[in-house]
């Protein structure tokens, strides 16, 4: 991990140390649960980006997915390791930066992230993320990304806001967008920030 990415890791570790992680509600994402249940998505090799302390990874493992979970925060991964052990499930945990590392031993057919995409500030970084995610997936695999949207006034605090154009520009070279739905982040806030629910399929031969 280069110096810039080490600085990113330190920043996120500080937030976990300070308890400043409002995205970590302690319950699996309702949007993830609904998608897996209603589409449905059969158990397969899955990758979670920005797994935090492992709540969603544990839920996926309990649904019989073979889960690899990644976060840039080493402290979050330590906590996820304890939680998965206490839950009695098997999850492959990895600490690393999403823009320059490969985390899966075999191609993932389902990728989930809650808030990773919107954490990258530049078009180049978001395109690089999409390219790197595609590299770690099998053709026809699905990526479900929950992204804070611009459908609210600009704010100084809270998740970064991304437009539909930001998403499409970054992902379309590698992914077919199946759904881009306006909703809100699953949050303990009384007024959850608006969000996009973006379901994509990696371009290539379909299963």
Residue 165 CA to residue 155 CA, distance in Å, equals 19
Residue 148 CA to residue 100 CA, distance in Å, equals 23
Give tens-digit pLDDT for 120-158: 999 999 999 999 999 999 999 999 999 999 987 676 666
Name all domains of the chain by residue range, CATH numbers in brackets. 3-10+28-193 (3.40.50.150)
* DSSP code for 52: T
pLDDT of residue 206 exceeding 70:
no
The pLDDT mean for the chain works out to 89
């Amino acid at each position: 991990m280069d110096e810039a990415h080490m600085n990113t890791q330190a920043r996120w570790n500080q937030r976990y140390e300070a308890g400043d992680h409002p995205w970590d509600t302690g319950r699996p994402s309702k949007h993830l649960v609904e998608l897996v249940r209603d589409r449905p998505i059969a158990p397969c090799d899955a990758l979670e980006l920005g797994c935090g302390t492992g709540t969603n990874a544990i839920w996926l493992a309990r649904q019989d997915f073979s889960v690899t979970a990644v976060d840039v925060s080493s402290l979050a991964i330590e906590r996820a390791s304890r939680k998965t052990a206490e839950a009695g499930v098997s999850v492959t945990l990895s600490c690393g930066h999403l823009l320059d590392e490969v985390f899966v031993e075999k191609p993932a057919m389902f990728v989930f992230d809650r808030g990773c995409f919107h954490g990258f500030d530049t078009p180049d970084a978001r395109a690089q993320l999409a390219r790197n995610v595609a590299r770690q997936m099998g053709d026809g695999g699905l990526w479900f990304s929950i992204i804070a949207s611009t459908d609210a006034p600009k704010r100084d605090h809270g998740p970064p806001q991304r437009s539909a154009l930001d998403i499409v520009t970054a992902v379309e070279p590698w992914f077919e967008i199946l759904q881009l739905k306006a909703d809100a982040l699953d949050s303990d806030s009384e007024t959850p920030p608006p969000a996009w629910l973006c379901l994509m399929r990696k371009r290539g031969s379909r299963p």
